[in-house]
Amino acid sequence: MIDSLVLGPPQYWGLTFVFSLLLLIAAVLLWVLGRLVDAPGPRLWGAAAVIVFAGMVLAGSQMQGTLPWQRGLYVLGDALLVLGIGLIGEGLRRFCGRRPSLAWVAILVAAQGALGLALEVTGQPLANSVATSVLITGLWLWIAWIAIRHTRRGFHGLFVGLMLCAIVEAAGWAWRGGILAAAGAGDPSAVIAYANAVLVAFAFVSTGALVLLYVLLVNFRLAEQLRAKAVRDPLTGALNRRGFEECTGRLASLSAELGQSVAVLMLDVDHFKQVNDEHGHHAGDLVLKALAQLVQRAKRETDVFARLGGEEFCLVLPGTDVPGARVFADRLRRSFETLEIDTGRSFLSCTMSVGVAYASATALRQGQVDVLDLLHQADEALYEAKRAGRNRVRFYASPDVVSSRLDSRLFASSSVFDTMGNGTRSRG
C-alpha cells in the first residue's frame, strides 16, 4: 500500500530542503530581532529554530537506517526536536512575562530519549515514532494554550494567529502518529518516510506563518519600548513632560466622568545645586533616582508620576481628597528626609519641598479648572514652601482647599482670589 502513496522519501527530502531554508532564515531573523528588542524570548526562538533544523535533518537522515548506531542517531534527532519545540514554548512564556523554567524541558527531553532508546532496543521503531508524535502533539497544544492565555490588548490578532499555527502543527504531528499507529506490519522505514513527508507538508505551511507572527510580535514590542523611551525620563524612569501631558489629559476627563477629585503635587529637592557643586553630578543623579524610587513605591498604580525638569517632579493623584493629599505629601517629605543615599564615598541626606493643588469633581466637571491649572497652582504652592524655609508642604488656597477643614497655616501665604474665585498668586 505504501508503494502506491504519492509521498515518500524523495518528496520528504524535497520538502525538507525548503523547510530547512525557512528554519535557518527564521533563526537568523529572530536572533537579530532578539538583539534589538529588550525582551526575553526572541533569541530563544532563534536557537530553537536551529535545534529543530538539526533534529529534523538528523532524524530524517537515519529514518531508513537499521543499524544500532543509526537508530541511536534517530532517537537523538527526535530528542532535539522535542528540545527545540519545548524552547519555542518556553520562549513564548518568557516573552509574555512568565518566570524562566528550563528544568522541565530538560526532564522532558531526557524522558523522551530514554523511552526512545528502550523502544528501539526492543525492536519497536514504529512505537518509538508514535510516542514521539504524541509527545510533540502535546507540546504544540501547550504552546497554543500559552498563546491564547497570555493574549493582551493590542496583540489579540497575533496571539490568536500563534494559537492557530500551533494547532496546525499539532494536527500534523497527530496525523503522523495516526499514520504510524495504523501501519501495522510492513516496512517501518517506508511508513516513517511517508508519515514524515505528510508532517513536513503541515509544518511548512504553519511554520511560515508562525515565523511571520513572531517577527510581528517582536516588532510590536520594539515599537512599545521605543514609545516608552520617548515618554519616560531615562534617569529616573518617571514620565517626561510629553508622557505627562498625554496621561493627564485622559486622566482629567476620566476623573470628571467618574466624579473623582484630583490632587496635584509638585516635588522639588532642596538646595539641589549645592548637592551637585559639593558632591558632583553623579551624586545629584543618585539623589534624583532615590526620590523617584521612593515615590514609585509609595504611589498607587492609577497615580501619574513625572519628572518635569531638573529636580522638579510632579505627581497627580486621582480620587484623593484634601486630607488624603496632605497625609501623602507629608509622608513622602518625611520619608525622603530620613533617607540615606549612598554616593559610593559617603552617605548623603536631602530634604524636599512640596506644593499641593486640589480640585473637586464638581470643579473639574464644570470646567472651572483643569490639570494644567492645578499644575501651575501646585508650582505656586511649591514656591511658597521654599520661601517659608523649605522641607515643608504648602497648599494652594483654591476655593476647594479653603472650604475644607485644612489648617490655614498650610496655605500658600501669598495666594489671593480674584472676583471669579480662581486662585492667583502675587509675587510682590
Q: Is the separation of the CB atoms in 67 and 95 below 8 Å?
A: no
| CA distance linking residue 213 with residue 243, whole number of Å | 29
Which distant-in-sequence residues (6+ apart) come within 8 Å of 123 by Cβ? none
Q: Is 278 a catalytic residue?
A: no
Query: What distance lies between CA 349 and its chain's CA centroid?
Result: 35
Q: Which of 90, 120, 169, 311 is catalytic?
A: 311
Residue 277: CB atoms within 10 Å: 11
Q: Is 271 exposed, middle or buried (0-12, 13-18, 19+ CB in 10 A)?
A: middle
| Sign, Cα dihedral of 38, 44, 49, 54 | positive
Hey, which residues does 423 pair with through a beta bridge?
Answer: 417
Gyration radius from the chain CA atoms: 32
| Cell 543623579 sits on residue | 285
Q: Is 285 exposed, middle or buried (0-12, 13-18, 19+ CB in 10 A)?
A: middle
| CA distance linking residue 399 with residue 397, whole number of Å | 7
Q: Is 34 exposed, middle or buried (0-12, 13-18, 19+ CB in 10 A)?
A: buried
Alpha-carbon distance values, 309 to 99, 186, 240 (Å): 36, 78, 8
Where do the DSSP E strands lie in 241-296? Answer: 262-269
DSSP assignments along 60-111, one per residue: HHTTT--SHHHHHHHHHHHHHHHHHHHHHHHHHHHHTTPPP--HHHHHHHHH
| Sign, Cα dihedral of 384, 388, 389, 394 | negative
Which distant-in-sequence residues (6+ apart) come within 8 Å of 408 by Cβ? none
Catalytic residue numbers, as ranges: 311
